Amino acid sequence: LRALLAGLALAAMVLPATFGSGVAADYKAEYKLSTVLGKPFPWGIGGDRWAELVKEKTNGRINVKMYPGSSLVNGDQTKEFTALRQGVIDMAVGSTINWSPQVKELNLFSLPFLMPDHKAMDALTQGPVGKQLFDLLATKDVVPLAWGENGFREISNSKRAISKPEDLKGLKIRVVGSPLYLDTFTALGANPTQMSWADAQPALSTGAVDGQENPLAVFVAAKLPTLGQKHLTLWGYVADPLIFVVNKEVWASWSKEDQEAVRAAAVQAAAEEIAISRKGITAQDDSLLKDIAAQGVEVVQLTPDQQKAFQAATKAVYEKWAKQIGPDLVKSAETSIAAR
Ligand code: X2X
């Protein structure tokens, strides 16, 4: 008891001095930023750039370190949002897919064939839907600051070219941890299996799974053609945006000036990251696609009619999940896309 009283007396002497000595006193020496992918993936470049800009714009008052590989949650990317809410993670650049087990509305972007192109994606993230999702996240102990992009998720496999749903029959496909993906691939006749990105790469290289789906920038940076992924189909069925966020308590511990610096840094890093993630995969600049073909990958670009067959095969999944996500939110998304 005496030690406790002495401790309290000491605290009473020290605390006023701490409060009076300026904002930096209760800042952490390091803020932990979680990502799934590090450099040289666009995602990791974006996270790193955010950290760099924060340091610059706060004159070093806020020191951010990026922890790629979901290492703050032992590689289990679907636990990232929970860890963020709990304050185990201070900041994150996270995929909507990985947070959708906790925030069901984020499954929106995984509705098969909702978004036909990048413009549609922008219409959602930069319009009323994006605002509504940010407002929702703000009620869940995080402060969302900017939308980035992982990208349109194209399907690859080691067995055969895919140009119609029947081609997927029996293929073992690794999917991420949202049950929506199990429904989509089951509807297409494939054999989906859920695993983290950390587990996916060994599973692809041993042939435990036949295929996977990820954006082209990920396909290339992860060197998936060297893991036997020689068939790639551009079907554009879903895309995952990234979200730059800060834990709410961490945010509240910063001065107004520093909060605005962190926000401006996120907005700038996210805009740069989106540009990087789209590089080389458009009609104007298809350098990444050429690079993929040069690695001996057979690339199938679906015709609109071929795409319609996949859309028809997954229509029931869309309808089932639209109800779970929220019919009003889905309607609003469809309206924004139609008006893009
Ligand atoms: O695990 C994946 O496929 C990845 C890296 O794209 C995500 O984190 C959603």
Nearest to 220 by CA among 301, 302, 286: 286
Tell me, in angstroms, the distance from the centre of ligand 1 to residue 58's CA: 31
Tell me, in angstroms, the distance from the centre of ligand 1 to residue 326's CA: 24
* Cβ atoms 137, 92 nearer than 8 A: no
**Three-state DSSP class for residue 138:** helix
pTM of the model: 0.93
Q: Assess whether the region 26-151+241-277 and the region 154-238+281-338 belong to the same CATH fold.
A: yes
Atom of ligand 1 nearest to the CA of 77: 8
Nearest to 108 by CA among 270, 305, 326, 311: 326
Q: What is the pLDDT of residue 2?
A: 58
Q: What is the pLDDT of residue 29?
A: 97
Atom of ligand 1 nearest to the CA of 174: 3
Spatial separation of the C-alpha atoms in residues 175 and 170, rounded to whole Å: 15
Atom of ligand 1 nearest to the CA of 215: 6
The CA-CA-CA angle for residues 63, 68, 70, to 5°, reads 115
Q: What is the pLDDT of residue 138?
A: 98
Q: What is the pLDDT of residue 22?
A: 47
CATH 3.40.50.300 fits 154-238+281-338, yes or no: no
Per-residue pLDDT of the chain (340 residues), as tens digits, is 555 555 555 555 544 444 444 456 699 999 999 999 999 999 999 999 999 999 999 999 999 999 999 999 999 999 999 999 999 999 999 999 999 999 999 999 999 999 999 999 999 999 999 999 999 999 999 999 999 999 999 999 999 999 999 999 999 999 998 899 999 999 999 999 999 999 999 999 999 999 999 999 999 999 999 999 999 999 999 999 999 999 999 999 999 999 999 999 999 999 999 999 999 998 889 999 999 999 999 999 999 999 999 999 999 999 999 999 999 999 999 999 999 9
Nearest CA to ligand 1 atom 1: 197
Nearest to 47 by CA among 148, 133, 194: 148
Lining residues, ligand 1, CB within 6 Å: 36-37, 77, 95, 97-98, 150, 176, 197, 214, 218, 240
Spatial separation of the C-alpha atoms in residues 319 and 316, rounded to whole Å: 5
Spell out the domain ranges in the chain. 26-151+241-277, 154-238+281-338
* Cβ atoms 41, 221 nearer than 8 A: yes
Nearest CA to ligand 1 atom 8: 36
CATH 3.30.1280.10 fits 26-151+241-277, yes or no: no
Nearest CA to ligand 1 atom 4: 197
Tell me, in angstroms, the distance from the centre of ligand 1 to residue 330's CA: 23
Atom of ligand 1 nearest to the CA of 213: 3
